[in-house]
Amino acid sequence: MRSFLSMLGIIIGVAAVIIMMAIGHGSKESIRAELSTMGTNLLTIRPGADMRGGVRQDPSAMQTLKIADYERIMREKKYVTNVSPEVTSSGQAIFGNNNTTTTIYGEAPEYLDIRLWTIEEGECFNEEDINKAAKKVVIGATVVKELFGDGIDPIGKTIRFKNIPLQVIGVLKSKGYNSWGMDQDNVMIAPYTTVMKRIAAQTWFSSIVCSAVTEEMSDAAIEELTQILRDNHKLKGDAADDFNIRSQAEMMETMSSTMDTVTLILVVAAAFSLLVAGIGIMNIMLVSVTERTKEIGLRMAVGATGPVISLQFLIESVLISVTGGLLGILVGCTASEFAVPAFGIPSSVPAWSIYVSFLVCVFLGVFFGYIPAQKAANMDPIEAIRHE
């Protein structure tokens, strides 16, 4: 019973460490999977903030991205496959007596490939619709639900957005909510010329989205786009860029770094229970040495050497620690696989966490068993036999 209670501290400690690692690793994988649905090779060009009269302006108010930038990127791109200028506007979409607040995105047809959208019903607009600024729109599942409800086919119906009639020609496949709680299906996508001329009444782009040839070529694509835009904006020498380019890989790296820090904090907190468990093992072994003093003296009297006595107690300490560690790994993996997901928390046990936990248990057994083992080995056999 005493040995089991010593193991219990190790079991709880190891299980806690594995569960914390599983939650951290699972959350990181969940975020990466969420970001990958937007395209792992996604590049976003946005206007840069500008200083006017000593005051830094809001980047959204800048008008530095023009149609000429988009056309030149299309002509000179090497490390970029698809390109779509982007204009956005938020407001009320109306059909009959129903309405909903949503955002309309003015895009090129390539936008669906860049952001990995799939048309579930109908079709997407084409280049001819772009040239004519056609009043056509593709809508998300949430917009369909709010405006049309069940049993009504939205294809061919006309909805109004800021009093502009738009014909529904397609419905996007549902993506659901992302990790930040945003509804990805509450969206409308129309030709960028339509949004620019008929809805937003502007001549510049809110942003330009691109996809690099591969995720590994994102840096080369950023350098290429930077050079094209600097040249097009006539920026000389060390003049600051009036635009910003961000990659999805960069965002993934930032989020992964944040999750690694959070996981480390959780693991360190759980590891303190292992430290306490190790001290408990040392305490039990010291008591054991004291209780078995006469036995130790008798063994020494018949020829047992100090190293042999030391090894006896060291093996006992390691067995308690390792057995507790194995049980802790079993409990931790089981809880991570079944109990944690039941609460809606992403969980994934990395294989290396099991190996690390086992090695830590061996180390604890040796480290905290060494002092009791040395105490036993250094006893005087005559004094030990006389001990009462």
Per-residue pLDDT of the chain (388 residues; tens, 9 = 90+): 877 877 888 888 888 888 888 888 787 777 666 665 556 678 888 887 655 444 455 555 567 888 999 999 999 989 998 899 999 999 999 998 899 999 999 999 999 888 888 999 999 999 999 999 999 999 999 999 999 987 789 999 999 998 899 999 999 998 887 666 678 899 999 999 999 999 988 888 999 999 888 877 888 988 999 999 999 888 887 788 888 888 876 666 666 777 777 777 777 777 777 778 788 888 888 888 888 788 888 888 888 888 888 888 888 888 888 888 899 889 988 888 887 777 777 788 888 888 888 888 888 888 888 888 888 888 887 777 776 6
In whole angstroms, give the CA distance from residue 359 to residue 327: 14
Name the phi and psi angles at 90, rounded to 5. Answer: -110, 150
Q: Which two tokens stand for residue 98?
A: 């129903």
Name the phi and psi angles at 303, rounded to 5. Answer: 120, -5
Alpha helices (H) in 65-140, listed in sequence order: 67-76, 111-114, 127-132
Angle at 362 between CA 361 and CA 364, to 5 degrees: 65
